[in-house]
Structure 1
Amino acid sequence: MLSTTPRTTLGRSKNRGLTSREDLYAVLDAGLVCHLGVVVDGFPMVVPTGYGRIGDTLYVHGSTGATSLRNADEVCVTVTHLDGVVLARSAFNHSLNYRCAMVYGRVRRVSGEEHLAGLRAITEQLAPGQWDASRAPTGKELAATTVLALSLAEASVKVRQGPPIDDEEDYELPIWAGVLPLHQVWGAPEPDPAMTGDLPVPAHIASRATPVR
């Protein structure tokens, strides 16, 4: 079960909250970009970045010189999937279909084997199979990259799916209502013009691509 701390307890729309840790994993594992919220000089900063998960630990990375990572201590990380726009009969009852996870906690700056494992997890989150297909990072590249680890101990999941919910008296209005679904799909791979030779698209990349029609 997910934690029930003051920060993860829903104040509104409690019926949209999910409490299974498997629900948390599903939202995180389906994403590509998270938003890392930190406080810099007393002001909030929210930075989009790639991430990866190993068990109950989330990893994010960036340049050692990045202001957001240098100031990261207590953070909030969010991952959101927009699945559709919900169009109601009244403007007030318009909504979104979505899946969202929020994780709170104090980050750790990792090193050694965990540093490398975190980078691998982030790479594999974006493109499964790519870590082994790529050149391994050099010592200089590793030294220039900060990896932060965040425990998933304190997290919440909120989901909204389904048709609009209107006021009872509005259902008789002659106004179209429903859901405008949103789907994210991969396109066909576009080779780098500077690539040496006419290399075929690797199987781990081709398997995710949308066929050209």
Structure 2
Amino acid sequence: MKTTRSKIKRAPKRAQYDKESIYKILDSDFLCHVGIIHNDHPVVIPTLYGRKDDCIYIHGASVSRLITEIEKGIEVCISIANVKGLVLARSAFHHSANYESVVIFGKGELVSEEEKNKALKVISDQILVGRWEEVREPSDKELKATKVIKIQIEEVSAKVRTGDPVDDTEDYELDIWAGVLPVEKKFGNPVNDSKLKRNIEVSHSVKKAIS
């Protein structure tokens, strides 16, 4: 659903509202910023997330202010953004960035104890597919200290910029290099835990992520 608060007003030609485009952006990352009103003040907190169907899952300590506020069913705003390149123009004014971003509006609800493990796996798979199956699952004590929030995507919009810089006509004659400097986000080589037992190979999920 598109309303006045989710409609892209600035550079509307860059707007995308279809699920396929939006979910593709959401599924390419695992860090979001969640905005809430806490004690009459705006607060934006970064946190890891997972997406399944039309829902975003986040988790945190049971006493976390972010979690305790959202579980009340308040309105939240979630943003995800990836910079794909620096757009370097011939003039300072026309410098920009190629990017893809999503803004979500919705309400949160507390995930039940019965669903909690499945919801945590959704978040884990978003970060590193296959890691959940390689490790010890949360204990009862750990689950008790953790809450998971499910946020239904009620309104959402994406905004994407691609392509070259757009200079003033006369500036194209300037002897200044212009173009795009790509920005890449990727995993580096894994570093062993200093307390790792000998002869333990890097996990399959990690190998797959860096391959």
Which band: TM-score by shorter chain?
over 0.9
Q: Which residue matches 2:4?
A: 6
Is 1:127 equivalent to 2:128 in the alignment?
A: yes
Q: Which residue matches 2:141?
A: 140
Query: Aligned partner of 2:4: which letter?
Result: P
| Contact 2:108–2:152 under 8 Å retained in 1 | yes
Is 1:69 equivalent to 2:70 in the alignment?
A: no
Q: How does 1:77-116 map to 2 (within 5 A)?
A: 77-116=78-117
Cα distance in structure 1, aligned partners of 2:23 and 2:95? 28
TM-score, normalised with respect to structure 2: 0.94
Query: Aligned partner of 1:24: which letter?
Result: I
TM-score, normalised with respect to structure 1: 0.93
Q: Which runs of 5+ in 1 are unaligned?
A: none
**CA offsets, 1:105-136, max 9 Å, x none?**
11111112322221111111111101111111
Cα distance in structure 1, aligned partners of 2:130 and 2:85? 30
Moved over 2 A (4+): none
Query: Aligned partner of 1:5: which letter?
Result: T
Cα distance in structure 1, aligned partners of 2:46 and 2:200? 32
Q: How does 1:37-76 map to 2 (within 5 A)?
A: 37-72=35-70, 73-76=74-77
Q: Which residue matches 1:21?
A: 19
Residue correspondences, number: 208
Percent identity (aligned): 38
Q: Which residue matches 1:164?
A: 165
Q: Which runs of 5+ in 2 are unaligned?
A: none
SS at match of 1:113: helix
Give the CA deviation at 1:7.
Answer: 1.3
RMSD over aligned Cα atoms: 1.2
**CA offsets, 1:132-170, max 9 Å, x none?**
111111111111111111112311110001110112222
